[in-house]
Amino acid sequence: MSRSAIPQATLLLSLFIAALLVAPLLLPEFYLTLLNYIGLYAIVALGLVLLTGVGGLTSFGQAAFVGLGAYTTAYLTTVHDVSPWLTLPAGLLVTALVALSLGLVTLRLSGHFLPLGTIAWGIALYYLFGNLAALGGHTGISGIPPLQFFDLELRSGREFFYLIWAVLLTIILATRNLLDSREGRAIRALKGGAVMAEAMGVNTPRSKLVIFTVAALYAGMSGWLYAHLQRFVNPTPFSLSQGIEYLFMAVVGGVSHVWGAILGAGLITVLKQWLQDWLPSLLGKSGNFEMIVFGLLMILVLQRARDGVWPMLQRFFPQAPVHGPMIKAQALPRRPLPEAGSVLLEVTDACKRFGGLVANDRMSFCVRAGEVMALIGPNGAGKSTMFDGISGVDPLTSGAVSFRGQRIEALPARAIAQRGMSRTFQHVRLLPAMSVIENVAIGTHLRGRKSFVAAAFRSDRGEEARLLQEAAAQIERCGLAEHMHELAGSLPLGKQRAVEIARALASDPCLLLLDEPAAGLRYLEKQALAELLRRLRAEGIGILLVEHDMDFVMGLADRVVVMEFGQKLAAGLPDEIQRNPAVIEAYLGGLE
C-alpha cells in the first residue's frame, strides 16, 4: 500500500463533487430528475448499509419511515401553515420516536423474526397513511409549499439538485466517520461478534437501537426532501414493495460500503427506467414486464455478486491505508488494582446444566490478585463452560460468583467487564475483516466516552488517538507489533490468540481469564507468553488460566484446580497436583 493512496482517494472524491457541481448546468431536466431520485433513494439505502450491511439487521420497512418524514411535513405545512424548516426537525422527531418504539419491540427478535417484524410494521404504517382522513386518505395531500432559501424558492428539480446531493454527501461522510470510531467498532462487531463485544463491555442492544434509529432518520430526511420536491404525497411510494426495493439498492450497491448506497440507488433507478422505456417496445405490448425482468436480474446479481457491485469497482481503485502515522497521545488512566493476595474472584457451588448434561457441578474455588490460578482437566471437563459462567457470557444455572466483593452471577457480561474482568475465548472470536489494531481497540470500549454523534462530526479524535495508542501498546506488549495493521483473519491461529490477549488487556482488567492461550504457539512464543503472564502477575493482576500444556502450566501457576466431569477433582500447589494419584489417573496419565 502506498502513501500516495490518500491523495488519490481525495482526488476521486473531488472529481465526483466537481461533476455534481456542474451537472445542473449541463444536463437536461429529465436526467436531473433521475439524479434527484437517485439521491433521495441513496439517502435511504445508506441507512440500510449501516443497519443491514454493517449491523446485520435486515429491514424491509424503511419506506414507511420515508413516509413519516414526508407526511409530517405535508400535514404541518398544509394544514397548520408551519414553515418547512420547522417541519424538518418535527418530522425527524416523529421518525425517531416511532423508530425507538418499534426498535425496542422488534430488535429483540432474532433470526428471521426481525425481517418479518419489519414487514409487519411496514405494512401497518402504509395502511395508516392511507386510512387517516387527516392525511387525505389514498388521495394524499397536495399543495405542499416549496422550500425557500431567503428569496430563492426551490421550485424545479434543477434548484433542488444541490440540496439533495449536499445532504447525501454529508451523511455519507458522517456515516463513514461514525464507522471509524469507538462506537463504530462496536457497531461493526454486531454482525458476527456480538458475544465477544458484550464481553468487552459493549451494550449491543443499545448499538442496535442506535443504528436502527439512524437508518430511520436518514429515511425520514429523504421523505421530507421528497415531499417538498414533489409538493404532493400519497401512500404509494411508502409501500412494502418500495421498502423491498430500498433493500435491493443497498444489496446491489454493496451492502457494507457507504458509497455502495449511491451506486445501488443509481443502478436500480436507471435500470428500472430503462426497462420501463424499452421493454414494451421490445415486446410489442405493455404491462409490468419490467418488474419480472427486474426480479430475474436481482436473482442473478445475488447469485454472482454477493457483496454487491461496489467491491468489484473498488478493485480498480487504490486502497487508502487504514491508518496514518500514530500521533502521540496522553496515556489512558489505569484502574487502581486491588491489593496483591486479596481475593478477587470467589466461585461457590457453581452449577451449569445443558439439558440433562451437568457441565459444571458444585464448583468452588477462588482467584487472588497477583496470582496465576490454573484450571486444568481433560477435554469436556467443563472449563470453558466455567469461564462463560464467570464472565456472564452464558450464566450459571445456580451458584454464586463474587468479584471484588460484589455478587455478579446475575449480571450481563458487559457489566462484569465494566467491573474489571476480561477474557479470551478458546475458539477465537475476532472480527477477521478488521485490522489487528481495530480488533484490539474494541477492548478499550469502556475506556472511552465519546458518543456516536461526536464520532460522526469527528470531535472524538483526541479520545480516539488515546484509545488507539493504548491498543497499539498492548499489541506491542503481546509481540504483535509487525502485524498491527494486517487483517486479523489473515494471521495464523496462534497469533490470533495473542490478539485476543491484547484485546483483553486493552480493557485494563484486574482479573484476566485466559482459555488455552498457548494452544498453537511455538516454543519460543510460549516462553514469551509465560514471560508476559509473569509480568502481569507481578503488576498485581489475577489470572485464571485454562491450558493443556502441562510444562507451561506447572512452570507458571501458583495454584491449580483440576476438573473432571464438571466436578472439582483436586486443588493445590503445582507439586502436590503433579503427585496426586487421582489426578495422574484421570488426566496426566491419560495424556502420556
* Interacting residue ranges for ligand ADP, rule: CB under 6 A: 354, 357, 359, 377, 379-385
Which of ligand ADP, Mg ion, none binds 380 (CB below 5-8 Å, type-dependent)? ligand ADP
Kind plus residue range of the DSSP H or E element containing 149:
strand 147-149
Q: How far is the CB of 52 from Mg ion (least distance, A)?
A: 34
Which of Mg ion, ligand ADP, none binds 382 (CB below 5-8 Å, type-dependent)? ligand ADP
Q: How far apart are CA 167 and CA 156, in angstroms?
A: 17
Q: How far apart are CA 50 and CA 215, in angstroms?
A: 7
CA angle 213, 218, 220 (to 5 degrees): 90
Which CB, 8 or 364, lies closer to ligand ADP? 364
Q: How far is the CB of 164 from Mg ion (least distance, A)?
A: 54
Q: How far apart are CA 393 and CA 305, in angstroms?
A: 36
Q: How far is the CB of 426 from Mg ion (least distance, A)?
A: 4
Which CB, 40 or 359, lies closer to ligand ADP? 359
Which of ligand ADP, Mg ion, none binds 354 (CB below 5-8 Å, type-dependent)? ligand ADP
Q: How far apart are CA 199 and CA 581, in angstroms?
A: 37
Residue 375 · residue 383 · CB < 8 Å: yes
Residue 195 · residue 393 · CB < 8 Å: yes
- Which parts of this chain interact with Mg ion (CB under 5 A)? 383-384, 426
Q: How far is the CB of 360 from ligand ADP (least distance, A)?
A: 8
Q: How far apart are CA 261 and CA 283, in angstroms?
A: 32
User: Nearest-CB residue to Mg ion?
Assistant: 384
Which CB, 323 or 362, lies closer to ligand ADP? 362
Q: How is residue 235 annotated by DSSP?
A: S
List the end-to-end C-alpha distance of the chain, in Å, as a whole number.
Answer: 49
Instruction: Give the three cell numbers for residue 156.
Output: 424545479
Smallest CA-to-CA distance from 351 within 342, 364, 360 is with: 360
Which CB, 40 or 560, lies closer to Mg ion? 560
Q: How far apart are CA 253 and CA 261, in angstroms?
A: 6
Which CB, 154 or 501, lies closer to Mg ion? 501
E strands, 264-356, in order:
343-354
For 263-281, b/e burial (b = at least 16 CB within 10 A) is bbbbbbbebeeebeeebee
Q: How far is the CB of 428 from Mg ion (least distance, A)?
A: 12
Spatial CB neighbours of 106, under 8 Å, sequence gap ≥ 6: 114, 117, 118, 121
Which of Mg ion, ligand ADP, none binds 4 (CB below 5-8 Å, type-dependent)? none
Q: How far apart are CA 557 and CA 543, in angstroms?
A: 9
Q: How far is the CB of 193 from Mg ion (least distance, A)?
A: 19
Q: How far is the CB of 388 from ligand ADP (least distance, A)?
A: 8
Which CB, 166 or 357, lies closer to ligand ADP? 357
Which CB, 58 or 385, lies closer to ligand ADP? 385
Which of Mg ion, ligand ADP, none binds 84 (CB below 5-8 Å, type-dependent)? none
Q: How far is the CB of 389 from ligand ADP (least distance, A)?
A: 9
Single-letter amino acid code for the residue at 403: F
Q: How far is the CB of 531 from Mg ion (least distance, A)?
A: 24
Q: What Å distances lie between residue 352 and 172, 358, 392, 397, 423, CA to CA?
A: 47, 6, 12, 5, 19
Which CB, 445 or 568, lies closer to ligand ADP? 568
Which CB, 98 or 196, lies closer to ligand ADP? 196
